[in-house]
Amino acid sequence: MTDQVGQLPTGIAEMQAALQQQFAGVSDFILKTARLKCNGQPVLYAYLGVSVDEDKLIREVVQPLVLEADDMEQVRSLLESVQGGQLDRWEDILRGMWGGNALMYMDKEPIAYLLDTSSWPSPQIKEPENESSLKGARSGFTESNPTNLALLRHHLPGEQFVQKQIRTGPGGKIRVTMVYLPDKATPESVELLLDRINKIEVPSVLSMGELAEQLEDNSYSLFPQFLLTERPDVAAIGIAEGKIALLMGHSSQVLLAPMAFLSFFMSVDDRSMRWPVVTFFRLLRFVGLLIAIFLPSVYIATVSFHYEIIPIDLVLSVGKSLERVPVPPILEAFFMEFILEMLREASLRLPPKVGQSVGIVGGIVIGQAAVEAGIVSNVMVIVVALTAIASFIQPNQDMAAAVRLLRFPFMIAAYLMGMIGIVIGFMVLVCHIASMQSLRMPFGSPLFPIRLGKWSSVLARLPIGGFRRRKDSER
Amino acid sequence: MAGCSDRTELDDSTLITITGMDLADNGKLAVTGMVLDFNEESPSQEILLSSTGKTLRENRSLLSSKIGGEFLSGKLQIVIVSKRLLKAERLLPHLDVAYRDPKISNSALIVACDCSVNKLMDTKRSSQPILTEYIRKLIETGHASEITVRSTMQHFHYMETEEGITSSISEIKPVGKELAVVGTMLLGSDGKYAAHLSKEESMLLLLLKKQFTSPASFTTSIQDENHNKANVSLDINKAKVKVKTGYEEGNFVFRIHLPVVAEVVELEGDFRVGADKNQIEALLKEKLEEACRALIAKLQMNRVDPIGYGLHARAFDYGHWKEVRSDWGKAFAEADVKVSVTVAIDSFGVME
């Protein structure tokens, strides 16, 4: 096989032998021969059955050649109209055939024709299940690139966006489509992202998350630096705002870059609901963020160091509840948090019908039995439950996961140094976010670097200003 | 700074909420402490401990030896001092440890009681919240309805160390199975017990101290046209206190003007509300002035100045203040204090 890398074999018999040798172990390999109507010249066509639309191949190519074409001119023009490329290199032919094209080879010709007859199973457009919204679009990205591009164009009607096909990785097996608006996206970001895509060295990338890891600025950080979304409306909004979208043919997720920390806390519903409601929800999410990170650690710090800040009515009931528990609050908290994370993970893996029972088991075991057995205190159950709820209201799953993980170091810091430990941890966290970048754009923007003018639009949502007053003549 | 060594798990600690101080028969300090009981099986939520020693700190060690867990004073809510101790000794030196240790709460209320502290704290009450909460609420609501002052440890320290003012603390007493606020206790310049103010006098004291939260109620009796006695109750909604300070013939002179805006909430007797308004106002003014004068006279007789006219004296006439600053109580007793009140009634209620 090694001698077949370069030039094509000449002669139809040699070609046939070479192909059969090459695809010896492939069960759906089909090779057929026919004769042209015009001069009786033998032609060979070969393809992989499952990825080729055989009907189309026969109807549009084989039949006209064998039954209709009157001279070689007509044959050539017919082949050129459906071709995926004229190739004279063996490795290109192989890649094309594995990629769903049919090969057509005529005797004594130095080149072969690749016919674009690929037909992949195209999944149905479904509602995105993992990013539900109340008022957003009901269609989600699928695992087919043309469908995804069509969805994007559908959501951005009339926009002339750049759509770049990039092949990267060793052997060019990773295919990425880059979509952006040339007048909105910053050229430096586009260039940087292109550069990073071209430098990918892993042979294959299966999911968008894997690709994101290859492209992100800080791979040691807990926080996602790109947004992965299944929602065409989210992607369209991002593109319209000047972000760059990356699509992969076999991934139903689209990557948006560059992102800022605070934009992970916005939901697509924010645009379609009344602004005071949205502002309230957005503040709720930020409060939820603080609760999700700090509540268990503040509780530990309070009962371990700063009992003074508990009101006197509460100190008695908290004290009574803690008295029964043999372990220090940190162990109690870890125990509960671990169980909670296990439950969450378990319900994720189980089919939905069984998943409900996990909730019941978890609710009863943790909520009641553990307290009655004196393993954990009542207050800790409340703290952990509140924390869980607060982390579940985050609209972005990647960010919510980061937040869930963050509270463990904070709990340790709280147990070692009390409130001072929490403050130290918070300072480290702020420094980390402030120093992070997404495609060399500041990740913490507009909080740091401080852009006061943008704060109101990020933390709250104000009404779309400047209602145009209708002229009398227009009434 | 907090660190690993500073960790005190809440359930391993013993939180003292009330410190009671009394004079023991042998002249030592008898301390009664109320600590929170975290044990779920025990029926009561608090444990009463008592000991006798030289100082508060020594007593703390004695108390803590009687109970397990680390003894913490960070949630100290109330300090109860008996009248007996206040009559015999100055309170401030006893509390020194509480001011010196930053971990002891300085927002605890100081309360005097006219009985043995141990007896007060051991009173078996019919169903009530924990004693700490009970006493604290008693004082807070008592202060809100103007029947006593509210002095925290911090404020007490100010009143004791400031020359121009003498201390005033709330006073409670067991009444039957319950506790009740009975008024205000005044300490003299020497820091010992000087006088007791009733609930009514306490209201006027708060009014003159500008510490009242409206409405402050005042009940008195006036005479109607037929010379019949008629009871009248006022809700004082707004009041200002204007003090003019002077010095005449070797004595300080204070002219206190008290414009009061009040609402009549109860009016017996034969009055025509609209026509007799001025007459009622004049009668009430007289009564209020009389009550204020009586209060000032009582203060002067006991040589105490809980309102803080010494601060005015220092601010407006420092030269003469310097001469009397060492014993302001005596100087205030000799001062010429005149009170004038104006009453403006803004409402007689919804009924004509």
Tens-digit pLDDT string for chain A (475 aa): 334 445 677 778 888 888 888 888 888 888 888 888 777 788 888 888 888 888 888 888 888 888 887 777 777 787 777 766 667 777 777 878 887 888 888 776 767 788 877 777 777 888 888 888 888 888 899 888 888 998 998 888 888 888 888 988 887 778 899 999 999 899 999 999 999 999 998 888 888 999 999 999 998 999 999 999 999 999 999 999 899 999 998 888 999 989 999 999 988 888 888 889 999 999 999 999 999 999 999 999 999 988 889 988 888 888 888 888 888 899 999 988 998 888 888 888 888 788 778 778 877 777 788 888 888 888 998 999 899 999 989 999 899 999 999 999 999 999 999 999 999 999 999 999 999 999 999 999 888 888 888 888 887 777 766 445 555 555 4
Q: Quick one: which H or E segment has residue A427?
A: helix A397-435
Question: Which residues, 6 or more positions from B73, have their beta carbon under 8 angstroms from its beta carbon?
Answer: B16, B19, B60, B98, B101, B103, B104, B105
| Cβ-defined contact of A316 to B77 (cutoff 8 Å) | no
User: What would you measure as the largest C-alpha separation in chain A, in angstroms?
Assistant: 103
Contact B337, B198 (CB under 8 A): no
Question: How many Å apart are CA B13 and CA A176, to the nearest integer?
Answer: 62
**How far apart, in Å, are the Cα atoms of B253 and each of A349, B241, B322?**
86, 16, 16
Identify the closest residue of chain B to A301 by CA–CA distance: B7
Residue B132, min C-alpha distance to chain A (Å): 9
Q: 């000449």: which residue's tokens?
A: A10
How far apart (Å, rounded) are the C-alpha atoms in residues A376 and A329? 9
Minimal C-alpha gap between A380 and chain B (Å): 14
CA separation for the pair B232, B223 (Å, rounded): 10
Which tokens sit at A381?
């159950």
Q: What is the ipTM of this complex?
A: 0.81
Position B276, amino acid: D
Mind telling me how many Å the CA of B74 is from chain A's nearest CA? Answer: 6
Complete domains list, chain B, with CATH = 1-197 (no CATH), 214-352 (3.30.300.210)
Place of tokens 């052997």: A171
Chain A residue with the nearest C-alpha to that of B108: A312
Report residue A137 as tokens.
């679009």
The three-class DSSP label of residue B352 is coil
Beta strand segments in chain B, E? 13-23, 29-36, 46-53, 70-72, 78-82, 109-113, 168-175, 178-187, 193-197, 216-223, 229-239, 242-248, 251-267, 336-347
Going along A301-411, which residue ranges are E strands? none
Q: Which residues of B touch A322 (CB under 8 A)?
A: 9-11, 38
- Whether A424 and chain B come into contact, CB under 8 Å, resolves to no
Of A323, A329, A419, the CB nearest to B38: A323
**What backbone phi and psi angles, to 5 degrees, belong to A4?**
-90, 5
